Structure formats: structure tokens, C-alpha cells
Chain A
Amino acid sequence: MNEVNEQIAIDHGLKKDEYKKICDLLKRTPNITELGVFSAMWNEHCSYKSSRRHLKKLHTKGDQVIQGPGENAGVVDIEDDDAIVFKIESHNHPSFIEPYQGAATGVGGIMRDVFTMGARPIANLNSIHFGSIDHEKTRNLLRGVVKGIGGYGNCIGVPTIAGQTCFDECYNGNILVNAMTLGLVNKNKIFYSKAAGVDKPVIYVGSKTGRDGIHGASMASAIFDDKIEEKKPTVQVGDPFTEKLLLEACLELMAGKSIISIQDMGAAGLTSSSIEMASKGDLGIEIDLTKVPCREENMTPYEIMLSESQERMLIVLEAGKENEAKKIFDKWNLDFAVIGKTTDSKNIELFFENKKVAEIPIDFLAENAPMYDRKWIKAKLPKENNFSKDDFKSLKLSDCLNKILTDPNIADKEWIWNQYDHTVMGDTIQKPGGNAGVVRVHGTNKAIAAAVDSSATYCHAHPLTGGKQVVCESWRNMISVGANPIAITNCLNFGNPEKEKNMGEFVECVEGITEASKYLNYPVVSGNVSFYNETKDKGIKPTPSIGGIGLLSDYKKMVTMELKNEGNYLLIIGKTEGHLDQSIFAKNILSNHDGPPPEINLFNEKQNGLSILNLKNKNLIETCHDVSLGGILTAVSKMSIKGNKGVKLFPIESLVNKFEYFFGEDQGRYIIEIKPENLEIVEKILKNDSIHFDKLGIVESDKITYGNELKISIGDIKEGYKRWLKEYMIN
């Protein structure tokens, strides 16, 4: 066995003082297996050592929260006996190295987190970020990631109902792949990872253990350099078929009463799953590694403990239930092995070929894991641009609109979601491409809306505002489909936390998320942190992805975004002040990347949203779409394209110029379509509630018109909007 020394520890991603702490705690030098276990538990990905103290501030409580952060996934109550289990997780580093497998196993991992808790997955979502469209790797990465997500989710038979795709050169060296899953569970039958009781059998089920993914979690805790391609062997390989069997077998076993606790083997495999179960139960655990089903010959204890082979679960069973459980796994043709037991030693003890090969007190690995108070700097609010008349002089509304609708970050993403099975399970009532995906709660009148959002541009310009904005945007997406927003899960993608600027971005984004989620009563119930998204000293923009869910108590009252009928009025809810700084218009048309992001007014945000839900409950809204990237005219165009109907825009009753009005990205706004006979009552309700609104236009013909200044046919803008991504991928 290798002799362990400081250099070997450093090669495992540990810092010098961390290695010293290990030796001090153990009062001896660890052996190689023990060092491997420490490195797996103490890396950033598993220990949250840079983020923990800040994550504690997140708003995690609410009437509907059954389980907040700290479990495999969060759980919220959706009335009756139903609950939704959901979480988002990053798989960034592996997806850059091997896009298909990286993305596929990201989807597999998050689904396991959800069904580990006893829930049947009912929807998948994703948020994917790529480098500049001109970068040589972007097409391949995009193609591989989309195929990987589809390859896994389609095979399992869980619909992918919504997602988000962004391009920005900051992701040239570090793409982001964030996968989210929602599952449905009876709220009285939720399974947790906390072990309980001594001498209970510890069971290994699922795929065999191979040498793939060894050190995956450590790799995800490091920055990239020129040799990143050499890390390919650390990317796990997915087997969705086995996962499907594992899902069905676990749910079958869970229908009985033999499970005490269950945990999937995700990052850091057997190491983190066994330690987590024991740690939460304040117990010890003993494992005989000889009994672990292995795919390859001569695997060492070190390799078995650190493998990240996929589709594996660890279960603590009630004693005596082994045969009952084994029958189920035999039926599904999955490996089943009793590999150890719980103990009262509070140590993890590993045996191999009748010899003890490791013994570590569990609290050294969990509670005593390093926690850092990293230095960080507060971001200043950038100075506003003062665009002058000259900046707009030569611009035409129609040219600007065409350019914006074919901007990679706006253009239609159908090429992507047509590759995801979004209708399997027969309950998808709003497909990708809308404000949010919506699936019915099978066999009930209820439906769940879900969406993922991020806005790195705003977060980069001012992290605090950006953090707030993403939460609000997610909230708006729920409102727009007529759902009551319930809770969120966050995937915090950031650069190198050892850099004060990046750490500051993290701290302030978390602060913004906290402030908004508290105010909107939209708590965070799960999530993960991905640091070190950095290549050769260049980090990504701060990119928190927020996955939100909402409840429709009557799915028949769901709202969609396509325009419905000629003669209906469009109102814009919320005030339009023409904020162009950091907008798509500023970047794409004016080539300006400066200034502050649009301000967030949480009071208005909440009032506006609640007023829309109120109107919807009174059946007064035909259509709703929130106004986000690209402003009013982009939003109207998308509604027109989807509904194949034009709009006559009314003269602006505002002091701002038409470009600011139509392309500004002021927050807290929605466009709603109202029947003429309901106009009066809607206006009355809005005035009564002191909600700011303007009459925006009327649905008519097949063109979008604005006086003499804009006349553009829906067919024309649709063509460019729909074609961009398809053409990009063919070239």
C-alpha cells in the first residue's frame, strides 16, 4: 500500500493545513484508503467548506415546507396527502470534459436524489449554459449535452418539461449543466437518509462498482487547466436502463416497511453515502468491501470507496428483512448485497479480505470538515449609462426586433426540446417553450408548474440585485401560468471562491436570493453549490440557477402565453421606465455592456403577481406572459408567434423614447390579454389594488404594428426566430 505523505495529500486536492489537521485528528498518518475518504469528504463539492456559513442565511422555512435543505432533496406539501420532492444539481465539470456522459449522469443523479426519498419522478428540467456561439467547442458541447440529457431522461420515461439555454463567452472554458427533477410522493411515506438503530444490515443495490468516476467530486472542486482532457476517466458513465430498474425496484421495496434509511451513491460514491447515513443517525458503520459487487477485477478498497459508478443505492434495512428485499431486486435483475451493519462505535470501519483497512471517527469527516470564512469584497453598483438621442438616431424598430429575436439568448430553442420526450407519462399540459412547464398530479385536478431561470448578466453587473432578480423571475413564471408559487431549489454556479471578487459575488447573490425569497414567501428547500468554474484564471459570471415550482389547484384554469382572439386587449402590468442598461438591446444593438441591472422592487413585484393570480381566479385573463429579456416588444412577438396573431400597439403614454419603452427590461411586469367585455372590470380591480398598468394594444390581423413606425408580419419574425438555432447547429 502506498505510503501517504503531504505531497500525496496535495495530489488529492487537500491543502497543506488540511492534511496537517487530518494527521492531528487521527494522531497518526492516514493510510491511502483513509486519505482517499478524507479527500472525498473534505473537498468543496461534498463539504461546502466555502459556502456553508453563507448558505445558513437562506430563507428555508414556510408553511408548505416539509423538508428543507440537508436531505437528498427538498419536500413541499401540495395539499391532500401529496407532496413534491425536488432539487436541482450541477454537473458542470464532467459535462465539459465529456458532454454526453456528463449531462446524462447529471440527469441520472438528480433523479436518484428524488426517488431515494420515495417519490416517483414526474418531470425533469434543465438549465444549460454554453460559451460564445463563435467558440469552436460550443456546437459540439451543445449537441452532446442535449443528447445526453435526452438519452437518459427519455429512456427512463420521465418528461423533460422546461429548461433554459444561454450563451455567453464567459462559459467558453466552463459550461454549466444544471439538472432538476420533481417527484410525487405521499407525504406520509417519505424516506430519509438518517440511519437509526445498531446492528441493522447495510445493503448495496443497483449496478456493480467499477473504476469510473474515481475522484469525480475532487475534479468538480478544482479549476481547469490545459490538461483537462486527461480527466476524461473521472467522468462517470450512465446506464439509464439500470436506473429505470432501480427506480421501479426501490419504489416497490418502499411500498413495504423494511427500509430504515436510504441514500443514493452520488458524488464520492460509497464514501459519502455511508458516512452521511451514519452521521445523521449519530451511529457508526462497518463495511466489508470484499462483499461489494465489483465490475472489474482486483479493485482495491481505495478504488471501491471512491468509485462514482452510477445507479447504486445504499439502504439500511430492518434486521430480518433481507430476503424480502432481495426478492424484489432479483426480480428486477439488480445486484443486492449485504455489505455491512450499523454500529455504536461512531466510526466508519472498513474491512477487506478479513483485514481492517480503515477506521475513522465519523465526526472527523462530517462535523470536523473544514469550514472557511473566505474573504470577499462587496460589489459597487455601476454608474448608469446616459444614452443620448444620437445613440438611437439611425435605428429602426423593425431592424432591432429582428436582431433581438435572432439573438442566441432569445431565439427559439425547439431544436433542443424536440429531442427531449416531454409528453411521456401523459400528464404534460404545458410543454417547453412557455413560461413554465406544467404537469398534472396524476389522477387529480391539481397540476405542478416548474421553471428554471438564471441571469448571469444581471448577477455579474450587480450580484445583490441579480440574486433578487432571478428569484423574482422564477416567481413570475409561476404566476404567468396561473400557479401559486410554492418554493425553489437553487444551483449556485460560481468561479473560484479563493478569489475575493468571486467569493463576493457568491455572498451577495445568496443575500439577494434570501431577501427576495423571504419577501415573496418563496423558500429555498434544496440545492447545491458549484465553485471553481474557472479555466486558466478566467472564471464564469456568477450564475445562480433558480428552479421554482408552483401549484395549480385546478389544472383547467392554467394560463398560457399564446394570443387567443382578435379584438382582445393587451394590458401591461407594472411600470415601464425604459431601463436599457444590461439589456439584450444594449448589448446586441448598442454594443454596450455597462451600467446597473434593472432595479428590483419587491413590494411591486408581489403586488403585481398577486393581482394577476386574483384576475386569473376570477377567469378574467385569457393569456399571460411575463416581460423579461428583450422587453415588451420581444414578449409581444413571442405571444404573437405562438398564437399566430398580430397586435396593434397603442401610442406610448410615457416620457421614455420608443426604444427604451419597447426594449427596456424593467422588472415586475406582465402582459395580459383581456376580452373587451372584461376590460372595464379588470381596470377597476387593478386601480382598486393600486396596480400600475398601461393599455398596450389590441390583438388583430397577422402583423405587429406601431403607428407608421412598425409594421412587421408574424410570418416573417417567426421564420427568423424559429430558424436561428436549427441553422446554427447544421453549420
Chain B
Amino acid sequence: MRSSVIIFPGSNCDRDMDVALKKFGFKNQMVWHNDADIPKSDLIVLPGGFSYGDYLRCGSIAGKSKIIKSVIDFAKSGGLVLGICNGFQILTETGLLPGILQQNKYLNFICKNVFVKIKNKENKYFKNIKKEVLELHIAHNEGNYFCSNDELKSIADNGQIAVTYCDDKGNDNEHNNPNGAIKNIAGIFNKDKNILGMMPHPERMIDPFLSGEDGSLFFENLIGNV
């Protein structure tokens, strides 16, 4: 299984993602943002970080970068594209995913473990994960997902809500919302469910000595379904 991680200037979770993908059996390669083409891949990952400094809207410049055209073509042909954190922000900037990510409700960067509830398992990203609730890790300043009511209705109707913030029991109400995201949304799919953007970092949870191991479940499942 081949994967490609795109490195934008300012990406900073690229190595972590590379480590995680390789740990679970992907043949991963790193691709520089200024390249026009992506090597043949089964999965493309847009990693976390601060692409181009994120001095404008997060992900906006990366969304116009040279490599991104190839990412869009790949995604539109049904290829798996995973965007984590800044990668999620970039995917919304390209229009591949609906909605936007605005600044956290309490205006602070948040770095901590959170629980997320898997809302849709009919896709390659979550298909065979036995748990309903995963403990993952967030580290972001702009993770407050927002979209219009029409969009919200449409993503809900199409099963595009991937994961929502919740407590350890799976209650995804306002008390368990770290950043103000609408409907506690932590991650969404496109209509075809081949594109997933999410704020939590599974790559930081792949070892009992790190913040936890539920990230392992995510990657184990993913390699099994690619």
C-alpha cells in the first residue's frame, strides 16, 4: 500500500505522519509542495502544521499551491485523501470538503486528549473499527468547524459527518465541545467518503507511551481497507 505525505513549507506533522504510516505497513513517500506530480499512491495525506505560516486564513495559500491540483485530480478520481488538522483546513479551502474552520470559541490554542464518536462506519476510514468512541488528541487554534444550515443538513443527510467530539461514553453534546464546532463536528467526509478531513491527530496516538493508542486502530483499519 503506497501513501504520499505532502510537505508544505510550514508543515510540522509530516514526520509524525510518515512514522505512523510506516509503522502500520504503508510504503510512504514525502512529496514537496512545489512538485507538480504525485507519485502513484493509494492514499494521499495532507499533514498538520502551519502551511505557509497560516498568516492568512489557515490553509488558504496551500489550497492554491502547485501540488494541490494533482491532489484535487486524485481525489476527484476517487483516490483516498486524508487531511489532518491543517490538512483538514486545506481541504475546506480547496472546496473538496464543505464548510470552514474558524478560530476556537475561547480564542486559545488547545492541545489535549479528546474523545470522538464515530458517526459513520460505511467507509474505508472507519469500517472495521470495533469501538464507537476513540480517544484522540487535538492541537489547534482554528478547529471550530462551521457551515451554513443548508450545508449542515446536506452533510448530515449524506452521512458526511465522520466524527464528533464527545465524552468517554459517546455523549456528543455542548459540554463536550472543546472548540465550539457546530454539532461538535471533529471531522467530515465528502459525499463519496473517499476524502476525510479531521482536526484530531491519530498519528500522535500510536503507542502506549504516547497520549494513547486509539490512533493505532485508525491506521490498522485504514491499511486493511486501502
Q: How far is the CA of A157 from the CA of B15 in the complex (A)?
A: 11
Chain B residue, CB-CB nearest to A332: B9
Chain-A contact segment, one of B109-117, B156-164, B218-226: B109-117
Q: Which of B200-222 contact A (CB under 8 A)?
A: 201, 203-204, 206, 209-211
Chain A residue, CB-CB nearest to B137: A423
Chain B residue, CB-CB nearest to A438: B209
Say if the beta carbon of B108 comes within 8 Å of chain A. yes
A327 → chain B, closest Cβ, in Å? 13
Of B19, B111, B141, the contact of A426 (CB 8 Å cutoff):
B19
Say if the beta carbon of B16 comes within 8 Å of chain A. yes
Chain-A contact segment, one of B47-55, B90-98, B118-126: B47-55
Given known A157-B13, A239-B53, A241-B9, contact A426–B204 (CB-CB < 8 A): yes
Q: Mark A329-362 against chain B: 1 for CB-CB distance below 8 A, else 0.
A: 0011100000000000000000000000000000
Q: How far is the CA of A239 from the CA of B10 in the complex (A)?
A: 11
B9 touches A424 (CB 8 A): no
Please name all residues of chain A whose beta carbon is closer than 8 Å to the beta carbon of B48 when the two chains form the complex.
Answer: 424
Of B52, B201, B204, B211, the contact of A241 (CB 8 Å cutoff):
B52
A419 touches B19 (CB 8 A): no
Please name all residues of chain A whose beta carbon is closer than 8 Å to the beta carbon of B9 when the two chains form the complex.
Answer: 241, 244-245, 332-333
Chain B residue, CB-CB nearest to A160: B111
Chain B residue, CB-CB nearest to A146: B108
Q: Which residue, of A156, A239, A426, has the highest number of chain B Cβ atoms within 10 A?
A: A426
Q: Which of B25-73 contact A (CB under 8 A)?
A: 34, 48-50, 52-55
Say if the beta carbon of A240 comes within 8 Å of chain B. yes
Say if the beta carbon of B139 comes within 8 Å of chain A. yes
Q: Which residue, of A157, A418, A425, A558, has the highest number of chain B Cβ atoms within 10 A?
A: A157
Q: How far is the CA of A132 from the CA of B21 in the complex (A)?
A: 48
Q: How far is the CA of A426 from the CA of B19 in the complex (A)?
A: 9
Q: Which of B135-191 contact A (CB under 8 A)?
A: 137, 139, 141
Please name all residues of chain B whose beta carbon is closer than 8 Å to the beta carbon of A558 when the two chains form the complex.
Answer: 209
Given known A420-B111, A423-B204, contact A241–B50 (CB-CB < 8 A): yes
Say if the beta carbon of B12 comes within 8 Å of chain A. yes
The number of residues on chain B lying at the interface, defined by a beta carbon within 8 Å of a beta carbon of chain A, is 31
Q: How far is the CA of A242 from the CA of B13 in the complex (A)?
A: 17
A488 → chain B, closest Cβ, in Å? 26
B19 touches A241 (CB 8 A): no
Q: How far is the CA of A240 from the CA of B9 in the complex (A)?
A: 12
Of B49, B54, B141, the contact of A157 (CB 8 Å cutoff):
B49
Please name all residues of chain B whose beta carbon is closer than 8 Å to the beta carbon of A440 when the two chains form the complex.
Answer: 209
A429 touches B210 (CB 8 A): yes
B50 → chain A, closest Cβ, in Å? 5
A421 touches B53 (CB 8 A): no
Of A157, A240, A423, A427, the contact of B111 (CB 8 Å cutoff):
A423
B205 → chain A, closest Cβ, in Å? 9
Q: How far is the CA of A333 from the CA of B65 in the complex (A)?
A: 14
Say if the beta carbon of A428 comes within 8 Å of chain B. yes
B163 → chain A, closest Cβ, in Å? 19
Say if the beta carbon of A527 comes within 8 Å of chain B. no
A133 → chain B, closest Cβ, in Å? 19
A554 → chain B, closest Cβ, in Å? 11
Q: How far is the CA of A418 from the CA of B210 in the complex (A)?
A: 16
A155 touches B10 (CB 8 A): yes
B187 → chain A, closest Cβ, in Å? 18
Say if the beta carbon of A463 comes within 8 Å of chain B. no
Q: How far is the CA of A408 from the CA of B200 in the complex (A)?
A: 32
Say if the beta carbon of A422 comes within 8 Å of chain B. yes
Please name all residues of chain A whose beta carbon is closer than 8 Å to the beta carbon of B209 when the two chains form the complex.
Answer: 429, 440, 555-556, 558
B109 touches A154 (CB 8 A): yes
B55 → chain A, closest Cβ, in Å? 7
Q: Which residue, of B16, B139, B201, has the highest number of chain A Cβ atoms within 10 A?
A: B139
A419 touches B211 (CB 8 A): no
Please name all residues of chain A whose beta carbon is closer than 8 Å to the beta carbon of B52 when the two chains form the complex.
Answer: 241
Given known A241-B52, A418-B111, A419-B108, contact A424–B139 (CB-CB < 8 A): yes
Say if the beta carbon of A150 comes within 8 Å of chain B. yes
Of A155, A332, A333, A423, the contact of B211 (CB 8 Å cutoff):
A423
Q: How far is the CA of A277 from the CA of B9 in the complex (A)?
A: 30
Q: Which of A185-241 contact B (CB under 8 A)?
A: 239-241
B195 → chain A, closest Cβ, in Å? 24
A241 touches B53 (CB 8 A): yes
Q: How far is the CA of A157 from the CA of B139 in the complex (A)?
A: 11
A419 touches B110 (CB 8 A): yes
Q: Mark A565-601 against chain B: 1 for CB-CB distance below 8 A, else 0.
A: 0000000000000000000000000000000000000
A425 touches B16 (CB 8 A): yes
Q: Which of A415-458 contact B (CB under 8 A)?
A: 417-429, 431, 440
Chain B residue, CB-CB nearest to A555: B209
Q: How far is the CA of A625 from the CA of B62 in the complex (A)?
A: 46
A424 touches B110 (CB 8 A): no
Q: How far is the CA of A555 from the CA of B210 in the complex (A)?
A: 12
B137 touches A157 (CB 8 A): no
A424 touches B13 (CB 8 A): yes
Of B20, B49, B109, the contact of A150 (CB 8 Å cutoff):
B109
Please name all residues of chain A whose beta carbon is closer than 8 Å to the beta carbon of B53 when the two chains form the complex.
Answer: 155, 239-242
B139 touches A241 (CB 8 A): no
B10 touches A423 (CB 8 A): no
Q: How far is the CA of A24 from the CA of B60 in the complex (A)?
A: 59
A426 touches B109 (CB 8 A): no
A426 touches B139 (CB 8 A): no
Q: How far is the CA of A155 from the CA of B10 in the complex (A)?
A: 7
Q: Which residue, of B52, B111, B112, has the highest number of chain A Cβ atoms within 10 A?
A: B111
Please name all residues of chain A whose beta carbon is closer than 8 Å to the beta carbon of B20 when the two chains form the complex.
Answer: 426
Q: Mark A110-150 against chain B: 1 for CB-CB distance below 8 A, else 0.
A: 00000000000000000000000000000000000001001
A425 touches B111 (CB 8 A): no
Given known A421-B111, A423-B139, contact A241–B10 (CB-CB < 8 A): yes
Please name all residues of chain A whose beta carbon is closer than 8 Å to the beta carbon of B50 when the two chains form the complex.
Answer: 154-155, 157, 240-241, 244
Please name all residues of chain B whose beta carbon is closer than 8 Å to the beta carbon of A333 when the two chains form the complex.
Answer: 9
Please name all residues of chain A whose beta carbon is closer than 8 Å to the beta carbon of B109 when the two chains form the complex.
Answer: 147, 150-151, 154, 419-421
A418 touches B110 (CB 8 A): yes
A445 → chain B, closest Cβ, in Å? 11
Of A417, A421, A426, the contact of B210 (CB 8 Å cutoff):
A426
Please name all residues of chain A whose beta carbon is closer than 8 Å to the beta carbon of B141 when the two chains form the complex.
Answer: 154
Of B19, B55, B111, B206, the contact of A422 (CB 8 Å cutoff):
B111
A sample of 22 cross-chain residue pairs with beta-carbon separation below 8 angstroms, ordered by A number, consists of: A147-B108, A157-B49, A239-B53, A241-B53, A241-B54, A242-B53, A244-B12, A331-B34, A332-B9, A418-B110, A418-B111, A418-B112, A419-B111, A421-B111, A421-B139, A423-B111, A423-B139, A423-B211, A424-B48, A424-B139, A426-B203, A426-B206
* 5 interchain residue pairs of minimum CB distance: A157-B12, A241-B53, A426-B16, A429-B209, A421-B139
Q: A157-B50, A244-B50, A420-B111 are in contact. List 19 more A-B contacts (CB 8 A).
A: A147-B108, A154-B139, A155-B50, A157-B49, A241-B50, A241-B52, A241-B53, A242-B53, A419-B109, A423-B139, A423-B201, A423-B211, A424-B48, A424-B139, A426-B16, A426-B20, A426-B203, A426-B206, A555-B209
